[in-house]
């Protein structure tokens, strides 16, 4: 597989990259090697998700090389430069700055909305297109022409959360909790609005930070309020910690409905702790697409494990970026951005990627999944909710 630089190699080569930057996108608009930045959480609790998103890009690049990718009849190679943003805004700023200084032509990142909010202006200042899987609407509302979201945003997902919880998980008392991040709090607030519209009682509404794992006090409140449906905008490891506390209290006749950071393989550990576990996600499962099974087989063969999250979306994003470069006949970031603005790009798994004036993906959808028999099963999906 094509490998991105590790941190030591990246730092050691940065000086050379700076010196050669003019050669990459100067007089010759189509260099021999085009640098693509990938910025995702590659360490910490979200490392598996970030690695999956990086793997999707690497897989696409390998295939493009194998098939003899050309621009204006010239054979071109891609170099993937990977940076760990640590799921942290400060880490995201640092990662973005390093990628900019290394002369990347496009960036596929970031996962976390709080990170993208900090990094997007850095890419925007240099006209570098940024393909984000972050979902907070505020990112595209910054008005940067360089931002392109590759999934549906939180406005649609919040409606899905509230609508499904109100109509399919009827209870006398609900709880809405979040991790305090722009992603988590934004979704939780939106879901709460939908529940209130449906005249549902929110007995507990509480925010934490995204590192908290001590939930004994919250579990006691949920039991005391007889909450039977928990809308949880916490990470998977946090939600699992909460379920353990509920088990200790014997308050297990509960349904948990989470966001897309709950829709992970690790949530299988929660089976049997409570009655039902659901998750919403704008990252539709790869097997829902016509060519998804073939992608899954190739991915598993390449990385010796199944996808953890949304590698098929970053895989598609890389293909669309390569098409934009070919359409522009240039590796200059501003030219690629302009091409992406008008493209209806072929995406091998999801079908197509095209964007509106704000950089929102057209035709994005949100699915609701239930954990059953150790796997996530689709319950319903809509682009309207």
Fold classification of 154-281+366-382 (topology level): Rossmann fold (3.40.50)
Rounded to whole angstroms, the Cα distance separating 140 from 147 reads 6
pLDDT at 222 over 50: yes
User: Are the C-beta atoms of 99 and 5 separated by less than 8 Å?
Assistant: no
pLDDT class of 261 with cuts at 50, 70, 90: confident
pLDDT at 78 over 90: yes
Q: Which segment of 98-102, 150-154, 181-185, 241-245 scores lowest on mean pLDDT? A: 181-185
For the chain, the farthest-separated pair of C-alpha atoms sits apart, in whole angstroms, at 69
Phi/psi region, residue 127 (left: phi>0; alpha: psi -120 to 50; beta: rest), is left
Residues forming CATH 3.40.50.2300 domain(s) in the chain: 7-152+287-353, 154-281+366-382
What pLDDT does residue 58 have? 98
Give me the mean pLDDT over the 341-365 stretch.
Answer: 96
Residue-wise pLDDT for 263-314, tens only, equals: 888 899 999 999 999 999 999 989 999 999 999 999 999 999 999 889 999 9
Within 13 Å of residue 327, how many CA atoms lie on the same side as its CB?
A: 20
pLDDT at 18 over 70: no
What pLDDT does residue 166 have? 97
pLDDT class of 318 with cuts at 50, 70, 90: very high
Give how far the C-alpha of residue 103 lies from the chain's centroid of Cα atoms, to the nearest Å: 24
SS3 69: coil
Rounded to whole angstroms, the Cα distance separating 326 from 321 reads 9
Give me the mean pLDDT over the 67-93 stretch.
Answer: 97
pLDDT class of 182 with cuts at 50, 70, 90: confident
Average pLDDT, the chain: 92
pLDDT class of 12 with cuts at 50, 70, 90: very low
* DSSP character at residue 227: -
What pLDDT does residue 83 have? 98
Give me the mean pLDDT over the 95-99 stretch.
Answer: 98
pLDDT at 328 over 90: yes
pLDDT at 11 over 60: no
Give me the mean pLDDT over the 352-361 stretch.
Answer: 97
Rounded to whole angstroms, the Cα distance separating 153 from 160 reads 11
pLDDT at 6 over 70: no
Total Cβ atoms within 10 A of residue 155: 16
* CATH H-level superfamily of 7-152+287-353: Response regulator (3.40.50.2300)
* Burial state string for 345-381 with b = 16 or more CB within 10 A and e = fewer than 16: bebbbbeebbbeebbbbeebbbbbbbbeeeebeeeeb
pLDDT class of 10 with cuts at 50, 70, 90: very low
What pLDDT does residue 28 have? 52
Rounded to whole angstroms, the Cα distance separating 352 from 59 reads 18
Give how far the C-alpha of residue 7 lies from the chain's centroid of Cα atoms, to the nearest Å: 22
pLDDT at 99 over 60: yes
């Amino acid at each position: 597989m094509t490998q991105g630089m590790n941190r030591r190699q990246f730092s050691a080569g940065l000086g050379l990259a700076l010196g050669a930057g003019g050669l990459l996108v100067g007089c010759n608009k189509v260099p021999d090697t085009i640098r693509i930045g990938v910025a995702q959480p590659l360490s910490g609790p979200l490392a598996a998700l970030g690695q999956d998103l990086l793997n999707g890009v690497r897989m696409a690049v390998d295939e493009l090389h194998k098939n003899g990718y050309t621009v204006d009849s010239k054979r071109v190679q891609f170099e993937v430069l990977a940076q760990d943003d640590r799921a942290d805004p400060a880490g995201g700023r640092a990662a973005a700055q390093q990628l900019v200084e290394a002369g990347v032509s496009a960036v596929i990142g970031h996962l976390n909305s709080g990170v993208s909010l900090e990094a997007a202006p850095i890419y925007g200042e240099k006209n570098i297109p940024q393909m984000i899987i972050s979902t907070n609407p505020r990112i595209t509302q910054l008005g940067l022409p360089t931002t392109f979201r590759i999934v549906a945003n939180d406005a649609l997902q919040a409606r899905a959360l509230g609508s499904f919880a109100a109509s399919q998980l009827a209870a006398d008392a609900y709880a809405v909790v979040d991790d305090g991040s722009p992603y988590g709090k934004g979704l939780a607030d939106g879901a709460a609005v939908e529940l209130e519209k449906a005249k549902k009682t929110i007995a507990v509404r509480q925010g934490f930070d995204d590192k908290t794992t001590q939930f004994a006090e919250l579990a006691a409140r949920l039991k005391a309020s007889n909450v039977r449906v928990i809308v949880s905008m916490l990470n998977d490891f946090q939600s699992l910690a909460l379920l353990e506390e509920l088990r200790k209290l014997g308050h297990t006749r509960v349904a948990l409905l989470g966001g897309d950071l709950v829709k992970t393989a690790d949530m299988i550990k929660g089976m049997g702790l409570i009655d039902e576990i659901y998750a919403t996600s704008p990252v539709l499962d790869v097997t829902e697409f016509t060519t998804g099974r073939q992608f899954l087989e190739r991915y598993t063969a390449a990385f010796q494990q199944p996808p953890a999250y949304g590698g098929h979306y970053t895989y598609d994003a890389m293909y669309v970026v390569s098409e934009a470069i070919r359409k522009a006949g240039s590796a200059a970031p501003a030219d690629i951005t302009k091409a992406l603005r008008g493209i209806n790009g072929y995406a091998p798994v999801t079908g197509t990627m095209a964007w509106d004036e704000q950089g929102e993906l057209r035709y994005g959808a949100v699915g609701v999944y239930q954990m059953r028999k150790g796997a996530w099963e689709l319950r319903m999906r809509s682009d309207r909710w």
